[in-house]
A = this chain, B = another copy of it.
Amino acid sequence: MKHKLQGVLPPMATPFTADEELDLAALKANIAKWNATGLAGYLAVGSNGESVYLSEDEQQAVIAATVEAAAENKFVMAGAGRESSRETVGAIKRAASVGADCALIVTPCYFKGQMKPANLEAHYLRVAEASPLPILLYNVPQATAVNMTPDLVARLAPHPNIAGIKDSSGNIAQLSEILRLTKEQDFAVFVGNAEVLHSATQLGADGAILAVANVLPQLCVDLMEAVRSGDLAKGKALQWSMSRMAALVTSVYGVGGLKATMDMVGYHGGPVRLPLLMPDQAALEVLAAELKIATSQA
């Protein structure tokens, strides 16, 4: 990696046209705007990029377009987790072939009852061995109903090709343990839940990958920098200005809420793919009201 794995990344929403076709021009226009902010890089085809709704070819096109549009000083992380170890390796290789810098590998989860620590450990070790890119573990129990324990993360962290983790659990006790157990390693810890960004940064998180950073990128960057520079009061004020906004575009209204809010602030959000639905009028009003609060504080 030419870039250090740290800083704020948006898990980029993937724009579609009105008939649900991929809209790469809109994606590139978003990236052009984000290039002017303090974002450290981009996550292409993550959860919020509706990766599960994209074909393999579409995923490849999104990653390639991101690499192409990203400014020199930004790195590109590609979502490349699949249910099987072998398919995961294939997805990483494809991402590598178009220039992604690293790959984010979500825990397999379809057979949740069988995804014991031994299964996850074997999976990540096989993937890490075969991967042409540094990989990051990705723990998102809200979507997967599978949780990686800090002890398991600590066993995987020393592997030279396992570069870090994104933990979206929102569980600060768990994040704290991960930081404690990996503090001697070269291991980048990204928090994936904006509502705990202040605390995560204060505990030592290296970066953050946050849906709300699609909408309010600089606010997220400023928050992390305030905490790092010791201005905790400012950090807390920024946190409190956007916590509710962050919840609305994730757990409350999901990707539809995120895209609708992106449209409100001048990014290309656009429609979601079915079975996702766009927020109704009442939800749009809630989003607009909260957005006003968040941006007035920023």
* A interface residues with partner B (beta carbon < 8 Å): 20, 47, 50, 52-56, 83-87, 90, 108, 110-115, 118-120, 122-123, 126, 142-143, 145, 170-173, 176-177, 180, 193, 195-196, 198-199, 202-204, 232, 236, 239-240, 243-244, 247, 251, 254-256, 273-277
Q: Known contacts being A55-B87, A243-B180, is A142 close to B113, with CB within 8 Å?
A: yes
How far, in whole Å, are A176 and B202 apart by their CA atoms in the complex? 14
Q: Known contacts being A195-B173, A196-B173, A202-B202, is A83 close to B53, with CB within 8 Å?
A: yes
Check A277–B122 contact: CB distance below 8 A. yes
How far, in whole Å, are A228 and B99 apart by their CA atoms in the complex? 47
A2 CB, min distance to chain B CBs, angstroms = 31
Query: Which residues of B sit under 8 angstroms from A110, Cβ to Cβ?
Result: 47, 52, 143
Stoichiometry, copies per complex: 4
Q: From the candidates B115, B143, B193, B232, name the one contacting A173 in the complex (CB within 8 A).
A: B193
Q: Known contacts being A113-B251, A196-B173, A243-B173, is A85 close to B123, with CB within 8 Å?
A: no
Check B113–A254 contact: CB distance below 8 A. yes
Q: Known contacts being A114-B254, A172-B199, is A275 close to B123, with CB within 8 Å?
A: yes
How far, in whole Å, are A85 and B232 apart by their CA atoms in the complex? 41
How far, in whole Å, are A177 and B243 apart by their CA atoms in the complex? 8
Check B111–A276 contact: CB distance below 8 A. yes
How far, in whole Å, are A120 and B86 apart by their CA atoms in the complex? 31
How far, in whole Å, are A202 and B200 apart by their CA atoms in the complex? 11
Check A275–B202 contact: CB distance below 8 A. no
Query: Which residues of B sit under 8 angstroms from A123, Cβ to Cβ?
Result: 274-275
Q: Known contacts being A173-B193, A199-B203, A236-B203, is A275 close to B84, with CB within 8 Å?
A: yes
Pick the 9 closest A-B CB pairs, nearest first.
A173-B195, A53-B84, A123-B275, A199-B199, A52-B83, A85-B274, A114-B254, A172-B172, A119-B275
How far, in whole Å, are A156 and B20 apart by their CA atoms in the complex? 24
Q: Known contacts being A111-B255, A173-B243, is A275 close to B198, with CB within 8 Å?
A: no
Query: Which residues of B sit under 8 angstroms from A111, Cβ to Cβ?
Result: 47, 143, 254-255, 276
Check A239–B47 contact: CB distance below 8 A. no
Query: Which residues of B sit under 8 angstroms from A108, Cβ to Cβ?
Result: 275
How far, in whole Å, are A9 and B114 apart by their CA atoms in the complex? 24
A139 CB, min distance to chain B CBs, angstroms = 15
How far, in whole Å, are A225 and B142 apart by their CA atoms in the complex? 35
How far, in whole Å, are A56 and B57 apart by their CA atoms in the complex? 12
Check B173–A274 contact: CB distance below 8 A. no
